[in-house]
Structure 1
Amino acid sequence: MSATTAATLPVSQIEGGPVVRGPRRPTPAKRAGRGVLYVVLALAAAAVLLPFVWMVISSLKTNNDVFTVPIQWIPDPFVWNNYVEIWQKSDMTTWIKNTLILSVSVTFLQVLTGSFAAYGFSKVRFAGRDALFLIYVATIAVPWQAYMIPQFVMLSKIGLSNTLWAILALQTFGAFGVFLMKQFFETVPEELSEAARIDGLSEYGIWRRIMIPLSVPAIASLTLITFTNTWNDYLGPLIYLRSPDLWTLQLGLKTFIGQYNADYALIMTGSVISVLPIAIIFLAGQRYFIEGIATSGLKG
């Protein structure tokens, strides 16, 4: 076969050449099925987002226009003053400050203690390790309502009731965080830890200098989950925080709704203020969150 002829033939037809097949085009049935799937997903996303969109729109309406029939999707006029008025009628600054203090502190402590305990359960060998981990993780199945009263009595006796320290003591240690981080740590090759020990690193140094940098997706997932749960927590602050200057955003909004139960526009405004920080944080960290949940860590 001449060079000219070979140049005009596909690789699969050249004698001795590898068989190379081009990408398969999807059949019409597959394309139709994929199109239907996209439509279904778009409708599901719209159904999930619709209440949030309606809440944001209602926060910019006058009180009488919130429940108009048919729904007025474009406010006329836009009442931006609602976001100023709710600050004047409520102690929103204190509520947000307390919620931020608790959310940031609990998230930091859970990531710190969860990752440290997970390292011990996954990379340090000691007697009874697996049994202890199984017992610890089993506490996830126990509902908080089962031990809520004795826990309240215990914290009240040591003087933590009606303080932010009570919420910190309740949520600093979480079995879910330990479980999530352990599953990720176990995918990190053991050779890395062994090499670090040979080089003279302590167990703490291995955790800080090797495991933590490799587990950014898992840490991001745990951070988002913990921050969201703490920010939206209502029952814990309701039980332990009785002073108005300690109320979180969820407690404050509940009280505000009780005082202004007919002022629907302001209620929607407060709801937007409550949801917006979580939405922004999730959108900013969704890439790491999906990576940490969908993968099992470093392969090697």
Structure 2
Amino acid sequence: MSRTGRILAIGALTLLAIVFVYPFVWLVSASFKPRGEVFDNRLIPQTFTFENYVQVWQEAPLALWLGNTVLVTALAATAVTLSSAMVAWAFAFYRFRGRGALFALVLGSMMLPGAVTMIPTFLIWNALGAVNTLTPMWAHNLFGSAFYIFLLRQFMLSLPRDLFDAARVDGANPWQVFWRIALPLSRPALAVTAVFEVQAVWTDLMRALIYLRDSATFTVPRGLKALVDNFGFGGEWHWEILITASVITTIPMIVLFFVGQRHIIEGVAAGGLKG
């Protein structure tokens, strides 16, 4: 690429970066403004105040909501990563009759809209007495995810089969081959799966609206919805509270991106090169 082309490419990327970053910068700036100046569109607040951050902790149990979300996210990401890896390993390594049909059935489940299974799933959790608890927010991941199974299977198919056969000749049982050899070699794909699921669970409002009714069990998305209900109606919108709460609950995802971006890039690159 010529020098002019590089300059144009850098300029275009810089412009796109500004477009994507600007909303969050505006959000952070507005969180330090009093109510009357929230929408003055200044990136540098005319009246700088920390009162919003003090008040939001007083008005809402953010620490509890964040704790619930961290717990649910950790359990959900761990459950779906391990369960999907087990199923993917079975489809990638073992040869058995009907394997192709079963895998096609797994992929076909991705075609079902969530609304189709929403009511039957709710009835199951309700019969188990799990409604208004955190269990339905993560336990469904114990059965894997069709998308992650596909992603991990494609990666595992690229692993050298001779390595696994040699391990079995040396006396390793199937579980040892999977746990000690296949999983460590699949670490890039596992990292991508975990990061994707963390982001999905952290922002999951629909399931929280269905199953969580007590504020003590609220996750971050459900808590923000409660704040909108409490501070957004009744004649006066407390935008400074809503914006500040949004900033606080968004920061963990930003930290996750900066911590996990190397693993995401490695996982996607490895899958692209090997798959």
Same fold (TM over 0.5): yes
Contact 2:148 2:193 (C-alpha < 8 Å) held by counterparts: yes
Unaligned runs of 5+ residues in structure 1 are: 1-25
Corresponding residue for 1:33?
5
Instruction: Report Cα offsets for 1:88-145 as digits up to 9, x if no partner.
Output: 0111122111111110000010111011111111011222112111111221121111
Where in structure 2 are the equivalents of 1:179-198 lying within 5 Å?
179-198=150-169
User: Within 1, Cα distance between the matches of 2:59 and 2:132?
Assistant: 24
Give how far 1:165 is off.
Answer: 1.3
Corresponding residue for 1:118?
88
Corresponding residue for 1:144?
114
User: Within 2, Cα distance between the matches of 1:159 and 1:128?
Assistant: 36
What percent of counterpart residues are identical? 35
Give how far 1:297 is off.
Answer: 7.3
Corresponding residue for 1:45?
17
What secondary structure, in the 3-state scheme, does the structure 1 residue paired with 2:271 have?
coil
Contact 1:215 1:297 (C-alpha < 8 Å) held by counterparts: no
Corresponding residue for 1:281?
256
Task: Report the aligned-residue RMSD.
Answer: 1.6
Contact 1:188 1:298 (C-alpha < 8 Å) held by counterparts: no
Q: Which amino acid aligns with 2:42?
A: Q
- Flag the structure with higher helix content: 2
* Residue 64 (structure 2) pairs with residue 94 (structure 1): yes
Contact 2:65 2:218 (C-alpha < 8 Å) held by counterparts: yes
Number of aligned positions between the proteins: 270
Corresponding residue for 1:9?
none
Unaligned runs of 5+ residues in structure 2 are: none
* Residue 136 (structure 2) pairs with residue 166 (structure 1): yes
Give how far 1:33 is off.
Answer: 2.2
Q: Which amino acid aligns with 1:44?
A: L
What secondary structure, in the 3-state scheme, does the structure 2 residue paired with 1:166 have?
helix
User: Within 2, Cα distance between the matches of 1:298 and 1:124?
Assistant: 23
Corresponding residue for 2:247?
272
Point out the structure with max Rg over C-alpha. 1
User: Within 2, Cα distance between the matches of 1:270 and 1:293?
Assistant: 33
User: Within 2, Cα distance between the matches of 1:279 and 1:171?
Assistant: 24
The TM-score normalised by the length of structure 1 is 0.86
Q: Which amino acid aligns with 1:62?
A: P
Give how far 1:232 is off.
Answer: 0.3
Corresponding residue for 1:296?
271
Q: Which amino acid aligns with 2:26?
A: W
